[in-house]
Structure 1
Amino acid sequence: MDLQLQGKTALVTGASRGIGLATARALAREGVQVVGAARTITPELEEVSVAAVPADLSTPDGAATVVDAALAELGGIDILVNNVGAGDADRFGLGGFLGIGDDQWRELLNLNLFSAVWATRGAMPSLLERQGAVVNVSSINARIPAPGPVGYSEAKAALTAFGKRPSEEFGPRGVRVNTVSPGVVGTALWRDPEGFGSRVAAANGVGHQEFLAAIPDHFGMASRRITEPEEVASLITFLVSGAAPNILGADIVIDGGTVKTS
């Protein structure tokens, strides 16, 4: 299938690892010039991108810096992938609603919602000029609230809703905006021996590998396996490509069958 991406340009946020890095690699393989942005730049991101921009996308200035750098490097933006986000329990408090203050709410909303709002606003003039495409990476936790940090599921739900607004406003002018909502994905968050998944396993008195093997049953995955970052990246690449010209305003779940409702 010809995805008609050769020679296009893309800005991918949260691109140093996981879904973001897999997406940068997938786009580059299709001939896209990629600018990757992340708080911390990794050698893997530098290898796959024409420019890697260090920035804190949870601030308006950081988002503006990233968009300006991408425009300067690429001359224009055809594709925007708003992937940056966080909800890892080692970074945020796991207390209940009454035990969590405003600071955590603000940080999670900035990371998971406003980063996409700011980046989309900055890139939209160029996207309109080029009739480009945007994908926001949300989560099934927008539909199934997680027992994790207070504010994460709510921020992802807001991100999913946000995608509808630019889709409706700019779709008639040639810009396609879609949302991808993964379930559990096999990133370092879950698989790193020192990561979140390992700590959850230890807290439950089981080995890390045993814990990972039990995830599909625990989440009721019909596929009986977790999703790989490359699979999410393939979906994103298809959505921003010329092979999906009339897909816009959609929220597409990729979760191995975790979500049982439409």
Structure 2
Amino acid sequence: MDLHLSGRVAVVTGASKGIGLAVVGTLAREGARVIAVSRKLTPELAALLGATVVHAPADLMDPSAPGEVVARAAEEFGGLDILVNNAGGPPPGATLPRFSFLTPTDDDWRAMFEFNLFAVVRAVRAAVPLLLERGGGTIVNISSTSARQPGALNADYAAAKAGMNTLGKALSEEFGPQGIRVNTVSPGPVRTAWWTEQGGAADVIAAHAGSDRDSVLTTLAPQMMRLTTGRLAAPQQVADVVALLASPLSANTTGAEFVVDSGFLKEL
């Protein structure tokens, strides 16, 4: 299917791996020009770089960084049509999951909101004028099912993502009449480095449960989270939804939330 993205300009944060990397690859294959934002350049992202994919190194914990990487789109490609706020999860240096509300300190809460919400606010603030210059565009925010089904684990993360969901609705209401569509994609557990890397969520859960990483990824985590499909999602499955929402084919879709969660959420 042609998503009619040829020539459009996108900024994708958290682009070095996982969902962000899959989004960059998908948009590029559809003909978009992409500013791929990440703190580090991974070999996988480096393989995508070229005339239409440019790496913008940035630490989004720096308050000036979101605006700078959005401005890079105008510098490199003359404007902006698509903003994908994908960077999120544990702030640099933090390890999740946290098993109790009592675990994170005030500084932990501040860092979580800086990375998962305030960086998004700053990127959107920078992007809106550029999108309006083009007569509109689209913003896709990557949230989490944790925002809708919080529990004892990661209370700070769930709260930040709930704020992102509210932000998306508010932005859609204000800027939709001016041609800017804003939608949210909420993944459940996705087989990314957040889970699989050394010291990641699978290792933390394995240590807590007396298990091992592979068993957590294939059996324990799907059972704990009551995943209907019995498996974690793949990054590409999330990226496909993001690309469709970025496309003019979704011209009448705004203020919506799309869930890619292996059946994690059970409520209507």
8 Å contact kept, 1:138–1:159: yes
SS in 2 for 1:41: coil
1:243 is the counterpart of 2:238: no
1:101 is the counterpart of 2:116: no
**Alpha-carbon distance between aligned partners in 1 of 2:238 and 2:28, rounded to the nearest angstrom:** 15
Structure 1 residue aligned with 2:56, among 53, 58, 61? Answer: 53
Residues 47 and 172 (structure 1 numbering): CA distance in 2 closer, same or farther, change over 3 Å?
A: same
Structure 2, unaligned runs of 5 or more: none
Where do 4+ consecutive residues of structure 1 move more than 6 Å? none
Residues 99 and 237 (structure 1 numbering): CA distance in 2 closer, same or farther, change over 3 Å?
A: closer
Query: Aligned-pair RMSD on alpha carbons?
Result: 1.9
Matches within 5 A, 1:175-194: 175-194=180-199
Residues 90 and 121 (structure 1 numbering): CA distance in 2 closer, same or farther, change over 3 Å?
A: closer
In the other structure, the counterpart of 1:196 is 201
**Alpha-carbon distance between aligned partners in 2 of 1:256 and 1:46, rounded to the nearest angstrom:** 30
1:155 is the counterpart of 2:160: yes
Larger mean CA deviation between 218-227 and 103-112 belongs to 218-227
How many equivalent pairs are there? 262
| Cα drift, residue 246 of structure 1 | 0.5
- Percent identity, aligned pairs only? 44
Residues 97 and 67 (structure 1 numbering): CA distance in 2 closer, same or farther, change over 3 Å?
A: same
Could you tell me the TM-score, scaled by structure 1's length? 0.93
1:136 is the counterpart of 2:137: no
Structure 2 residue aligned with 1:83, among 86, 93, 101? Answer: 86
**Alpha-carbon distance between aligned partners in 2 of 1:21 and 1:138, rounded to the nearest angstrom:** 16
Residues 96 and 193 (structure 1 numbering): CA distance in 2 closer, same or farther, change over 3 Å?
A: closer
SS in 2 for 1:157: helix
| Cα drift, residue 221 of structure 1 | 1.4
| Cα drift, residue 148 of structure 1 | 3.1
Structure 1, unaligned runs of 5 or more: none
Could you tell me the TM-score, scaled by structure 2's length? 0.91
Letter in 1 for 2:245: L
Query: Cα deviation per residue 1:144-186 (whole Å; 9 max; x = unaligned)?
Result: 1143334111000000110011111111111110000000001
Structure 1 residue aligned with 2:129, among 121, 125, 136? Answer: 125
Letter in 2 for 1:55: A
